Amino acid sequence: MLAPRVSQALIRSFSSTARNRFKNRVPEKQKLFQEENDIPLYLKGGVVDNILYRVTMGLCLGGTAYGLYCLGWASFPRNK
């Protein structure tokens, strides 16, 4: 009789009632992102969004600079 117990446990863990433990925060986020306060949309999430934005921009700029460096290095062959 172990199989019915296991299947009941799986059904409970994957059913829609298991998701109701979390509070719906969508209305709060909608109010935050729909405010007119002259902050760019990608920074309205607060400090975490600011850090993620800066890290992403730094990686993009660093990757672009490194790509240009490699392109320049490859375009001038060594003399033998």
pLDDT of residue 13: 64
pLDDT of residue 73: 95
Tens of pLDDT, residues 3-12: 666 666 666 6
Contact criterion met (CB below 8 Å) for 43 and 49 = yes
Record the pTM: 0.58
Give the ranges where 1-80 is alpha helix by DSSP (H): 2-14, 26-34, 47-75
Contact criterion met (CB below 8 Å) for 33 and 41 = yes
Tens of pLDDT, residues 16-65: 555 567 889 999 989 988 888 888 888 888 899 999 999 999 999 999 99
pLDDT of residue 11: 66
